[in-house]
Amino acid sequence: MDLLRSLTDKLDFDRLLAQFVYHPKSPLIFNTGFFLLLFLVFLAGYQLLRHQHRARLLYVTAFSLFFYYKSSGLYFLLLVFSTVVEYNFARWIADSSSPARRKLLLTLSLIVNLGMLFYFKYTNFFLSGYQALTGQPVPMLHVLLPVGISFYTFQTLSYTIDVYRGQIKPLRNIWDFAFFVSFFPQLVAGPIVRASDFIPQISKRVFISREDMGRAVLLIAAGLFKKAVISDYISLNYVERIFDNPGLYSGIENLLGVYGYALQIYCDFSGYSDIAIGIALLLSYRLPPNFLSPYQSTSITEFWRRWHISLSSWLRDYLYIPLGGNRKGVVRQYINLFLTMLLGGLWHGASLTFVAWGALHGLALAVDKLYQQVFRPRATWLNKLLGWFITFHFVCFCWIFFRAGTFEVATQVIYQITHALRPDLLLQVVGSFRPVFALVALGYVLHFVPDGLTLHLEGVLARRSVVTQAVVLTAVIWLVIQVKSAEIQPFIYFQF
C-alpha cells in the first residue's frame, strides 16, 4: 500500500497523459519502456476477449489506430480513408463482370493509392528536380511524411490487385479489412504482409502453441538485441560520425564505417521486423519472414532472395511480372529487372542517391543473370567464396549511396578509401573504439550462425516454462537499458 502511495506521489500525471498524445519526436516504437507497459495492458484485454471474435478484432483495430496516431498524429485518418476506399474498390471489382469496368476500377484504386504515396513522399523531390532543370524557383510542399505510408499503401495495393486477378475473394466485412490494414505489429516498418497470407488468419481462433511462444520469445529477444543493442550503439558511437564528415577521417576509418553501416542497417531493419513478427505471433498471427541472413549470399540474385523479402517479392509479383517479367525476351527481361530495381530504390526514399542505389542493384542483377547463363559456373567452394566476397563488397559499396544522402558525401567516402586508406591505423582505430568493433564482430559472427542452431534454440525455449522465457526477455531488455544509457564513446580523431 505504501509502495502504491509513493508511486502515485511520484507519478507526474501531465507526463503520463502526454504519453498518450501524438508527439512528432517520440513515436511509439517497440524498444521503449512505454510500449512494454502499454503492451502489457493491451494483452490483458486481448486475453479477456480471446474467445469473442468480433470484439477482439475491434479491440485490436482500435489499438492499432491509436498506435498509428502516436506515430503520425492526425494522419491516422489517412489510414481510415485508405481502408474505406480500398474496401469498396475491391468489392466493386469482384462484383463487376465487365472487364473494362474492372480495369477502370483497378486504375482508380492505383491512382488513389499511388497518388497518396506520391503526394506525401515525392512531390518535393520532383518539384526540386523541376527547379534544378528549369532554374525557376518553385514553392515546396511543407508536409510531414506519414510514418509507414510506403508500407501500408503497398499492402492495400496487393489486396486490390489480388482481388482483380481473382486470386483472393474480397472481404465482406469492413472491420475485417480495417483489421488487416491497420494491424499494428507490421504497420509502420513491415514486413509487407500480403492479403492472401493474412486474410485467412483473421477468422481463426486464438491459439498460441508452445513452439509459437518459444519462437516469439527468441524473435523478440534477438530483434531487440539487433536493433537496440548492436545497431543503435554502433550507429551513435561510430557510423553516424563517419558519414557526417567523411573527409575528416582516414580511408580505413571510412571503410570500417561502411562495414559498420552494412551491419547497422541489417540489424536495425531485420531486428525491428523480427520484433514485429514476434509480437504478431504472441497475438496468434503469422507474418512472413523478412530477412534470411542476407550477407551469407554468394550472388546478388541470392542476396535479393534473402534481403527484405517481403518487399522484393512484392516488387516481383506486382511490378516485375506485370512489366513482362521474363516472358518478352531476354533484352526486355534485363530492362524489366533494371526498372524494377530503379523504382525499388526510389521506394526507399525520395532522393537520387536511392535511385542510384536501385540502379546499381538492377545492373548487378542483370549482369549476374547474364553471367550465370553464359558461364554456368559450378558450385565449388572456391567459386562460392569468391561469389560471397564480391557480393558482400558490392552490397557494401551500394550502401554508401544509400546512407550518404548526397553524392558529394558518397564521393568523399569513396575518395578517402581509395586515396587515403592508411591501413597502418587499423589497430589504433579498432583499439580506440573497442566496444563498437566488438559489437560489429559479434554481429557478423551471429549473422553466420546456421539456421539449424536457431531452430534448436527455438525448441529449447519452447520447452521451458513461461518463467524462463520471461527471464530471457528480461535479460535482453536489461541489456538494452544498459546500452541505451551508456556513456557515448568519446570522439577520437586520429593523426593520419
Partner 1 sequence: MNLLRSQNPFLLVLLTVGLLGLLSLLKPGLTVGGVELRPVRLLADVLRKDRPAVASLVLPPPNGPASPSPKAGGTKAAPAAPDSAEVPTVAEAKPAAPAVANLGGLDSFLAALRQTKADGHKTRIAYFGDSMIEGDLLTGDLRNRLQTEFGGSGVGFVPISSVTAAFRETIHETFSPNWQEYNLVSPKLPATYPLGISGHVFLPRVVPAAADSTSAAVGGSWVQFQAGQRFPGTRRFAEAHLFYGPGTSRDQVLVTTDGHTVPHALTGIDALTELVLKPGRPARQLRLDFTTHGPRPVYGVSFESPTGITLDNFSFRGNSGMSLTRIPFRQLAAFGKVLDYRLIILHYGVNVADARNKNYVFYERAMTRVVDRMQRAFPQASILIIGMSDKSYRLDGEFVTDPSVPLLLAAQQRLARRNHAAFWNLFQAMGGENTMTSWVEASPPLANKDYTHVNSRGAQKIANLLYAYLMGEYAHPGGTPAAAPVTPPPPAAPAGPDSIPTP
- Decide: helix, strand or coil at residue 64: helix
Q: What is the dihedral of CA 58, 62, 65, 66, to 10 degrees?
A: -160
User: Who's near 455: CB < 8 A, 6+ residues apart?
Assistant: none
DSSP 249: S
Strand segments, DSSP code E, in 366-440 are none
Q: Decide if residue 413 touches partner 1 (CB under 8 A).
A: no
Q: Decide if residue 209 touches partner 1 (CB under 8 A).
A: yes
Q: Decide if residue 43 touches partner 1 (CB under 8 A).
A: yes
Radius of gyration of the chain measured on its C-alpha atoms: 24
CA distance 454 to 78: 39
Cβ-based nearer residue to partner 1, 283 or 440: 283
Residue type, 84: V
Q: Decide if residue 196 touches partner 1 (CB under 8 A).
A: no
Which one of residues 1, 4, 40, 100 is an interface residue with partner 1 (CB under 8 A)?
Answer: 40
Smallest distance, partner 1 to C-beta of residue 467, A: 6
Angle, to 10 degrees, between the axis of helix 149-164 and the axis of helix 174-182? 140
Sign, CA torsion 446/449/455/461: negative
Angle, to 10 degrees, between the axis of helix 149-164 and the axis of helix 99-134? 150
Cβ-based nearer residue to partner 1, 99 or 490: 490
Window of 41-49, 102-110, 123-131, 382-390 that interacts with partner 1 by CB under 8 A: 41-49
Residues 53-112 binding partner 1 (CB under 8 A) are none
User: Who's near 368: CB < 8 A, 6+ residues apart?
Assistant: 299, 300, 301
Which one of residues 110, 206, 421, 446 is an interface residue with partner 1 (CB under 8 A)?
Answer: 206
Cis peptide before 24 (omega within 30 of 0): no
Cβ-based nearer residue to partner 1, 97 or 485: 485
Catalytic residue, candidates 53, 142, 348, 361: 348
Window of 159-167, 176-184, 348-356, 462-470 that interacts with partner 1 by CB under 8 A: 462-470
Annotated catalytic, 348?
yes
CA distance 297 to 280: 28
**CA–CA distances in Å: residue 43 to residues 53, 55, 176, 349:** 15, 14, 20, 35
Which one of residues 5, 15, 376, 378 is an interface residue with partner 1 (CB under 8 A)?
Answer: 15
Smallest distance, partner 1 to C-beta of residue 426, A: 16
Q: Decide if residue 265 touches partner 1 (CB under 8 A).
A: no
Which one of residues 244, 408, 424, 451 is an interface residue with partner 1 (CB under 8 A)?
Answer: 244
Q: Which residues bind partner 1 (CB under 8 A)?
A: 7, 10-12, 15-16, 19, 25, 32-34, 36-37, 39-40, 43-44, 46-47, 50, 206-210, 212-213, 216-217, 236, 240-241, 244-245, 247-248, 282-284, 412, 415-416, 419-420, 466-467, 469-471, 473-474, 477-478, 481-482, 484-496
- Name the residues annotated as catalytic: 348
